[in-house]
């Protein structure tokens, strides 16, 4: 059995050279090799191409390199969670490329598997696909994505043995497993290094043949950023909760369901064990339970796609981001409930970008919109200025075409029987006159 060298943070960070492409594991600050990133920030290596789901948080992880001016380009899925990254991209200070989260994970996995690229229906018909080769395969428009590799990968694991075998903890797997396969040099930052044989073979998630160096570094609450803890108290207005309750009524026992951020997350607070609904989160978990009530954070609990600590129900399981999106694209998610900015008469969805606003990240929305068997959109009926969000044709950048099954707003419920936008229900205290006045799209009234 080989022995992987154990080195210090400074030595590890010194292996990254000016101009390198750096893969960084983690989802937010969960499973993030934050100590390696901060050591690299101290050294000051420049002109780096950074590839990760997001650039950490402001001043944390990749966010520290960004503030130092060490990044020339960012490739990722969701930069909105770091205001510095959004500003740098929109000001033209740093080049950037956005990929849907599942596309990013699969591109890295493909790079590590020696595959040159792949076709995916995700992002077809959107601005993300502009300039990319497309084909119709089995009647479905698909976008070609080139695989991704890097010079160096910084990843984070919970345990390693001296042969470099790695074990991840809860949702800390995320992008780490794929990134461990897709770089010329892989350095794993781990909580604990144990002798060979201490990790049972069935608990080894990344094999030692992928790992070149180990660094031992302990995670603290400060390293976890916004996921460090969670408040057990939150106030939700009745209107938003009514939308969540109506969405819950669409779910049936045994459904595998993915909840987006915003109003959809409220559905999780309503689900009980008796409902028999299995919640999926795209960063690598099935069987998501409610938010912990003890104030604990990501040191003690898994996190969901909103980077919020959650509990794990009986029968829960963890996996990496590439597997998670294989579930989504493969049609194994029964229902996705997402927020929306616009939905139109043709069941098109726009929910990820508003030109001129500090939003920069598509996350998993495009994958879920195309891959889920049913897509339910929960959103307020109008914008703050009173304009309708249910429109004849989406003006905002599209998330996906022809994918919406149902719209639930504070005023009404719409569906698409026979492909026609149809009003099927009024929400409490709403009138048909209200709905008609506040909906710019044409619709059939079936109330």
Nearest one of 167, 157, 177, 161 to 219, comparing CA atoms: 157
Cα 19 to the center of its chain, rounded Å: 27
Q: Is 425 a catalytic residue?
A: no
Catalytic residue among 172, 282, 342, 345: 282
Mapping DSSP onto H, E and C, the string for the chain reads CCCCCECCHHHHHCCCCCCCEEEECCECCECCCHHHHHHHHHHCCCCEEEECCCCCECCECHHHHHHCCCEEEEEECECCCCHHHHHHHHCCCCEEEECCHHHHHHHHHHHHCCCCEEEECCCCCCHHHCCCCEEEECCEEEEEEECCCEEEEEEEEEEEECCCCEECCHHHCECHHHHCCCEEEEEEEEEEEECCCCCCHHHCCECHHHCCEEEECCCCHHHHHHHCCCCCCCCCCHHHHHHHHHHHCCCCCCCEEEECCCCCHHHHHHCCHHHCCEEEECCCEEEECCCCCCCCCCCCCCECCCCCECCEEEEEEECEHHHHHHHHHCCCCCEEEEECCEEECCCCEECCCCCCCCCCECCCHHHHHHHCCEEEEECCCECCCCCECEECCCCCCCCECCCCCEEECCCEEEECHHHCCEEEEECCCCCHHHHHHCCCCCCEECC
**DSSP symbol at 360:** -
Q: Which two tokens stand for residue 336?
A: 């996705």
Instruction: Show which residues are catalytic.
Output: 282
């Amino acid at each position: 059995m080989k022995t992987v060298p154990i080195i210090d943070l400074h030595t590890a960070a010194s292996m990254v050279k000016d101009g390198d492409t750096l893969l960084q594991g983690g989802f937010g600050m969960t499973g993030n090799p934050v100590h390696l990133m901060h050591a690299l920030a101290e050294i000051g290596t420049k002109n780096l191409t950074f590839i990760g789901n997001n650039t950490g948080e402001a001043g944390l992880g990749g966010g520290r390199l960004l503030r130092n001016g060490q990044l020339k380009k960012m490739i990722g899925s969701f930069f909105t969670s770091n205001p510095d990254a959004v500003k740098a991209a929109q000001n033209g200070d740093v080049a950037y490329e956005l990929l849907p989260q599942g596309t990013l994970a699969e591109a890295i996995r493909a790079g590590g598997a020696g595959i040159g690229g792949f076709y995916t229906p995700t992002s077809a018909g959107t601005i993300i696909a502009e300039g990319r080769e497309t084909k119709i395969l089995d009647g479905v428009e698909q976008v070609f994505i080139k695989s991704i590799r890097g010079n160096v990968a910084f990843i984070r694991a919970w345990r390693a043995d001296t042969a470099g075998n790695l074990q991840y903890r809860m949702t800390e797997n995320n992008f780490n497993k794929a990134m461990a396969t897709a770089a010329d040099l892989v350095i794993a930052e781990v909580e604990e290094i144990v002798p060979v044989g201490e990790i049972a073979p069935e608990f080894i998630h990344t094999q030692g043949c992928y790992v070149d160096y180990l660094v031992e570094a302990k995670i603290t609450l400060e390293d976890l950023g916004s996921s460090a803890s969670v408040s057990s108290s939150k106030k939700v207005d009745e209107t938003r909760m009514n939308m969540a309750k109506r969405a819950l009524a669409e779910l049936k026992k045994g459904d595998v369901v993915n909840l987006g951020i915003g109003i959809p997350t409220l559905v999780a607070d309503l689900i009980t064990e008796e409902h028999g609904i299995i919640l999926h989160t795209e960063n690598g978990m099935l069987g998501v339970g409610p938010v912990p009530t003890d104030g604990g954070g990501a040191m003690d609990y898994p996190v969901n796609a909103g980077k919020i600590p959650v509990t794990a129900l009986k029968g829960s399981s963890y996996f990496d981001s590439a597997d998670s999106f294989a579930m989504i694209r493969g049609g194994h998610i029964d229902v996705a409930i997402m927020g929306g900015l616009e939905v139109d008469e043709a069941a098109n969805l726009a929910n990820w970008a508003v030109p001129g606003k500090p939003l920069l990240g598509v996350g998993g929305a495009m994958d879920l919109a195309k891959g889920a068997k049913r897509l339910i959109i929960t959103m307020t009926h109008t914008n703050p200025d009173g304009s309708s969000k249910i429109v004849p044709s989406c003006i905002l950048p599209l998330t996906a075409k022809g994918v919406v099954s149902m719209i639930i707003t504070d005023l009404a419920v719409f569906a698409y029987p026979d492909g026609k936008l149809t009003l099927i229900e009024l929400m409490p205290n709403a009138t048909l006159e209200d709905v008609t006045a506040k909906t710019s799209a044409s619709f059939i009234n079936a109330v």
